[in-house]
Each structure stands twice: as C-alpha cells, then as structure tokens.
Amino acid sequence: MVGALALGMLAGAGCGADDQQTQQQAPGSHAADAAPMTDTNHAEHPTGGAQQAEHPHAAGQTTLAGVTFTVPSSWQDLGASGMRQAQYRTDPVAGDDKQGEVNVFYFGPASGGGVDANLSRWIGQMTMPDGSDPAAAAERGTFTTDGMAGHIVSLDGTYKSGGGRPMGGTTTLLPGYRLVGVVIEGPQGSLFFKLTGPEKTARAMEADLLKMVKSAHK
C-alpha cells in the first residue's frame, strides 16, 4: 500500500514537471501582441499567440480564398498566425530601424466588415502630425485583376500599434510610418492585405505589394 502510494506521488510529480516544461516552451500571446503591426479590427487579432518563425523562408506563389498571387522572393514568409492567413516581412532600408510588414486576412465569404468599413478602420489607425483628419489625407485607388475588383488606401502619419484590442492592451504610437491597405474582392470573399512600416521601408515594400496584388488571379 505504501509502495503504491509512493509510485502515485512520483507519477504526479513527473506530470507536473512535464506540464511546466510545456508551458515554458509554448509561445505566449504576448509575443504576437508585441509585433509592430497589430490591427484594430476585432477580427484581425491573432488568437493563438503564434510567433515569427525562427528561420523565415523565401516566399513564393500562394493561393488564399481562391486568389493566387506570387509573393516577392525578397520577402520573408513567416506563415500564418491566428487570424492572419499569411505574414511577410522585409528588412528596413538605410535610415529606418524597423521592418516593413504585410499581413493578409480572410474572414470568410460574408465576414470581415465589408470593403469600406475596413478601409475606414485602417485609416483610423493613423493620426496626422498636425492633428488633421487622416481620412482627408488618405489616398484611395481601385484596380481590376482577372475580373476581381481591388481597392487601395494609403497614407503617412503616426501609426497606432496595438490599439483597439477587444481584450484591452497598450497602444504604441509610431511616428513616421506609412500604411497601405489593399482589398481584393475574390471569388470566395474579400482578401485583405495590410502593409505598415517606417515610411521609406514601407514605400520600398509597397511597390512589390502593388505589383503582387495587381497580378493576382483566380
């Protein structure tokens, strides 16, 4: 009886050690929350706290929600994370100290809040140095690729990173940033591309982003 009790105690201690080790090794949600690009759209937030890959691999042709696009080979592909169907990064250009980021979202055939709502939400994540209305400063454009309507919004200013989280969180203001949002109305619902980064780095990444989305096909 005593021997059985001792064996049970040892087994319980072993399970506790394994659980503690698993908790230490599992990526926490705080790592994803700390990423420079965090969206205020409640549906855009990562839910599982996946982190960036330790060894990003070269990007390539990708199909999401029935839309195929070719990712520039210079971009680092970090894979999916929570509600982000894809994540890409580029190194900062000379004079910038943070990476440029493109994150891709898809919320299903009838979700995501619609094109105009998302464009307005993205604009609302920026503030102007002079306090003016960011909506007035934003540039908008449209395009068509393989019969799919595309929408673009872009503006420079101070980016509110981490703001508007459904469970709360700290907002970090990042001045000198650029935001470019693209929506493609695909055959299975809208696909959302969001670029943010220091202005020079973002502009360098923007050229590749626009080339990528404007050559997308079903």
pLDDT for the residue 5: 40
Instruction: Assess whether pLDDT exceeds 60 at residue 57.
Output: no
Burial of 98 (0-12, 13-18, 19+ CB in 10 A): middle
pTM given for the model:
0.73
Q: How confident is the model at residue 169 (pLDDT cuts 50, 70, 90)?
A: low
Instruction: Assess whether pLDDT exceeds 70 at residue 194.
Output: yes
CA triplet 143, 146, 152: central angle to 5 degrees? Answer: 25
- Residues 93 and 143: their CA atoms lie apart, in Å, by 28
Mean pLDDT of 26-43: 34
CATH code matching the domain that covers 34-214, chosen among 3.40.1000, 1.10.150, 2.40.128, 1.10.3470: 3.40.1000
Q: How confident is the model at residue 56 (pLDDT cuts 50, 70, 90)?
A: low
Instruction: Assess whether pLDDT exceeds 70 at residue 134.
Output: yes
pLDDT for the residue 3: 46
